[in-house]
């Protein structure tokens, strides 16, 4: 069969852009042998043409001129690896208007402006392919949109931020403080110099917005997602939770109940030590999906990094070149924003079990005081742990695990607990997530 | 958008056929809402129209007449869930000749006659979609063909037979004998009354043939695969291996070395207790794939069962209806059989570490005898374990773990060991597989 030539332009020559360029150059022959598609790197656009990159481009490929890409009708596919939202959005819109299909790894952009960009793509009869936006090289977007499409997806639980997972894994395994674990992650290249986007949970929320929109067939907005980061997690709570059989992970959770109410949240989560996700350590990502027919399926791999992300971008380029992406994109029906909004459960109504730690003064009446408050808020205690030994101000840590209750009950109880004389400082509260493991 | 009607016929109304019919009937509305495709079950063909099935078909859908499906031009897709090879092959060829695309869960058929069937499909300008042939509901076929297509796939290690994994998990967790664990698996519905195909490793080889053909882009024949089953595994070896840090799994292995030689084998494998696959228990399947760009990715889920398998069949139906399957199928380039054959490594040349157990008479000179034989065959010992206590005929078990050596060296050594006077019975030999875990 004759090879079909596919010409590709890249905008943004950072880490991911360089990885994509490298794959396109180095794997061109083997991709042609496997698929019959000859991928050609037509140009790479970046304002910085001087810095060293881990790939050597052929003469004349690197340019500062976006117009060169836009005006070259032989280029069918534009890869946007600019990052950020403002400039990147403009690049994508210009590429779509110029008749290019778009492939992107930009999760922040799609999470914030995806609905608008998808509409622009539909209007121009082009597609946006975004496998690389979620969980790096793990083909999770195509799994949800194609492989599991016969299923009503009931829930997804994901470890989708490698930085946070690295930090929490270190804190768990070595008893390190958050600050030490973060510094270690930075020294190993698993955390940025400014780690805010990762440790605040916002990066995970970006990915959840994208995954939930395709899994539940709804236009999701970032503000639909409740977000809590890991920056205030103490090693003591990881240890106490561990003693009670739990492991702490930052989870991105999408859950649909029987009446189709959708709960979307990112927060530190105690999960059973035996659950599949508890065993995902270090910088790795994993996503468990529960489908009505398939039961539990889990996907595991590197959620970031130059070549894993480039692997997903180039897979999308091939899928676009074959014409499959455009078909899938055209058939991607989503409930519009106004309808979808009605389905989103408010965090106050969300139910969970909870882990609470109080620093209690070591004097009579403490148990009675906190028990009464929890009871008053309709919260029932399922377990408690009080170590001997002193904390600051002559206090001892009291750890309480509750039965399932609504968030609003817990919020009320925490306010009252904080006011107790026998309690020092703010109570710590971490959600316990019972992942419904599919067992025999 | 107007709904696009897709009419589907099913041949074979057994477990999988019934599951597919149920999904098509029960999920028709939600699939239409998500994809714009209205899947219609036009007919179900089976010689048995009387038995009870776990789905109620609309009046007139069930028929004994294959011609009704073949001659109905409104039916674009034929699902073959007949099972077996002879009749099923004829059904697929007839459906292709009648201009239907084929969707199948029949791994035995594709492993044995896939190359012939694929050629027939290409000739008729139709496709065969076969996600359901491997690992049930886990979308592993599409992951390899689409999601990971930018990668040169270097290796895959799969637990792809739930029956064997259930049996080995029970033997490991409860110290049960093979016979007891098999009986338990049968009582729970995880093993057939005649379990030969599963426990012999042949079912795993079927799946490996299909996965390896798409991962390595080669026409693979069943005889390319070395197969050893689990039926002679003793609980003692699972225990001794466990003491040395290993867990026993039946692995399907496809491995390509630096000079593109491909090793394809299914055999009981001791793997490190910490490796991801060691934690896959019970009837579950998991496949670890190593790609040149993506590193390690792992896929986990139910590898069999009515609804998981139906999930994969219906995903294929949707993919065929969208036109994507046909495109992917057309672009699936495979090296023809004569070229591929040159690349397959003979099992004798295959290298591995090995676990050996000898029942040695408790007398002087035993260590010297077996050490000399191993040394003569260029095999170096990396560890040994000798428990006190008696086996049959006044023997003690001696467990030896070797460094890497070629299979032919080991085969020669085992022959010589069996001849030793101080050894009772045949030596037991199990391969140790070092899965190159992708760590930080």
Say what the pLDDT of residue B407 is: 97
Query: Which of A233-237, A289-293, A336-340, B261-265 comes out lowest in average pLDDT?
Result: A336-340
Q: Which domains does chain B have, with CATH numbers?
A: 4-133 (3.40.50.720), 140-303 (3.30.360.10), 348-432 (3.30.70.260)
| Kind and range of the H or E run holding A107 | helix A107-123
Q: Per residue in A192-215, pLDDT tens?
A: 999 999 999 999 999 999 999 999
Residue window 372-401, chain B: list those with CB within 8 Å of chain A: none
Question: What is the C-alpha separation between B429 and B410, in angstroms, rounded?
Answer: 9
- Show residues of chain B in contact with A23, CB under 8 Å: 150, 293
Percent of chain A with pLDDT over 70: 100
User: Is the pLDDT score of A439 beyond 80?
Assistant: no
- Show residues of chain B in contact with A103, CB under 8 Å: none
Is B326 part of the contact surface with chain A (CB cutoff 8 Å)?
no
| Kind and range of the H or E run holding A45 | strand A37-45
Q: Per residue in B247-258, pLDDT tens?
A: 999 999 999 998
Q: Per residue in B14-45, pLDDT tens?
A: 999 999 999 999 999 999 988 999 999 999 99
Under the banding of pLDDT at 50, 70 and 90, the label for residue B1 is low
Q: Do A137 and B294 touch (CB under 8 A)?
A: yes
User: Is the pLDDT score of B317 beyond 60?
Assistant: yes
Strands A246-256 and B246-256, bridge-based pairing: unpaired
Count of CB atoms within 10 A of residue A186's CB? 16
Mean pLDDT of chain B: 95
User: Is the pLDDT score of B437 beyond 90?
Assistant: no
- What's the complex ipTM? 0.95
Smallest Cβ distance to A315: which of B148, B283, B296? B148
Closest CA relative to residue A110, chosen from A34, A37, A24, A207: A207
User: Is the pLDDT score of A144 beyond 90?
Assistant: yes
Residue window 176-235, chain A: list those with CB within 8 Å of chain B: 188, 190, 217
User: Rounded to the nearest 5°, which phi and psi values hold at A400?
Assistant: -125, 135
Q: Per residue in A229-276, pLDDT tens?
A: 999 999 999 999 999 999 999 999 999 998 899 999 999 999 999 999
Question: What is the C-alpha separation between B147 and B204, in angstroms, rounded?
Answer: 23
Question: In the predicted model, what is the mean pLDDT of residues A297-319?
Answer: 96
Closest CA relative to residue B107, chosen from B251, B298, B312, B284: B312
Under the banding of pLDDT at 50, 70 and 90, the label for residue B386 is confident
Is B153 part of the contact surface with chain A (CB cutoff 8 Å)?
no
What count of CB pairs under 8 Å joins A to B?
226
Q: Write down the residue that tokens 């519009």 correspond to.
A: A336
Q: Per residue in B298-316, pLDDT tens?
A: 999 999 999 999 999 999 9
Question: What is the C-alpha separation between B79 and B104, in angstroms, rounded?
Answer: 6
Under the banding of pLDDT at 50, 70 and 90, the label for residue A34 is confident
Under the banding of pLDDT at 50, 70 and 90, the label for residue A1 is low
Catalytic (active site) residue B419: no
CB contact set of B145 (below 8 Å; sequence gap of 6+): B214, B328, B332
Catalytic residue numbers of A read 207
Report pTM: 0.96
Smallest Cβ distance to A293: which of B23, B323, B332? B23
Testing the interface with B: which of A36, A132, A297 to mutate, by most B Cβ within 10 A? A297
- Of the candidates B94, B100, B107, B207, the residue annotated as catalytic is B207
Under the banding of pLDDT at 50, 70 and 90, the label for residue A87 is very high
Q: Do B142 and A142 touch (CB under 8 A)?
A: yes
Under the banding of pLDDT at 50, 70 and 90, the label for residue B393 is confident
């Amino acid at each position: 069969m004759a090879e079909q030539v596919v010409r590709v332009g890249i905008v943004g020559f950072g880490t991911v852009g360089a990885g994509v360029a490298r794959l396109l150059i180095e794997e061109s022959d083997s991709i042609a042998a496997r698929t019959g598609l000859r991928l050609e790197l037509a140009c790479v656009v970046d304002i910085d043409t001087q810095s060293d990159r881990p790939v050597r481009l052929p003469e004349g490929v690197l340019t500062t001129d976006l117009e060169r890409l836009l005006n070259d009708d032989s280029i069918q596919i534009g890869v946007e690896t600019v990052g950020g939202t403002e400039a990147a959005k403009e690049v994508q819109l210009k590429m779509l208007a110029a008749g290019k299909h778009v492939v992107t790894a930009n999760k922040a952009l799609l999470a914030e402006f995806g609905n608008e960009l998808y509409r622009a793509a539909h209007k121009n009869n082009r597609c946006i392919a975004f496998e690389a936006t979620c969980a790096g090289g793990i083909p999770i977007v195509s799994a949800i949109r194609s492989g599991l499409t016969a299923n009503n997806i009931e829930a997804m639980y994901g470890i989708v931020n490698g930085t946070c997972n690295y930090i929490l894994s270190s804190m768990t395994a070595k008893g390190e403080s958050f600050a030490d674990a973060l510094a270690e992650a930075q020294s190993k290249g698993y955390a940025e110099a400014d780690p805010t986007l990762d440790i605040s949970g916002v990066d995970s929320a970006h990915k959840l917005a994208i995954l939930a929109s395709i899994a539940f067939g709804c236009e999701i907005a970032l503000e639909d997602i409740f977000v809590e980061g890991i920056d205030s997690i103490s090693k003591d709570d990881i240890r106490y939770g561990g003693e009670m059989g739990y492991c702490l992970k930052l989870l991105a959770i999408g859950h649909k109940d029987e009446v189709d109410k959708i709960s979307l949240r990112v927060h530190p989560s105690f999960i059973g030590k035996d659950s599949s996700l508890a065993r995902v350590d270090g910088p790795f990502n994993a996503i468990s999906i529960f489908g009505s027919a398939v039961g539990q399926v889990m996907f595991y791999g590197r959620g970031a990094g130059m070549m894993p992300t480039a692997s997903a971008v180039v897979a999308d380029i091939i899928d676009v070149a074959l014409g499959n992406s455009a078909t899938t994109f055209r058939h991607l029906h989503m409930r519009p924003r106004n309808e979808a909004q009605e389905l989103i459960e408010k965090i106050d109504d969300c139910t969970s079990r909870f882990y609470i730690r109080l620093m209690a003064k070591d004097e009579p009446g403490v148990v009675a005081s906190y028990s009464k408050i929890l009871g008053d808020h309709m919260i029932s205690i399922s377990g408690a742990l009080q170590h001997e030994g002193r904390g600051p101000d002559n206090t001892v840590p009291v750890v309480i695990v509750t039965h399932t209750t609504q968030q609003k009950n817990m919020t009320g109880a925490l306010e009252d607990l904080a006011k107790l004389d026998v309690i020092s400082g703010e109570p710590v509260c971490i959600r316990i997530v019972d992942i419904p493991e599919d067992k025999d």
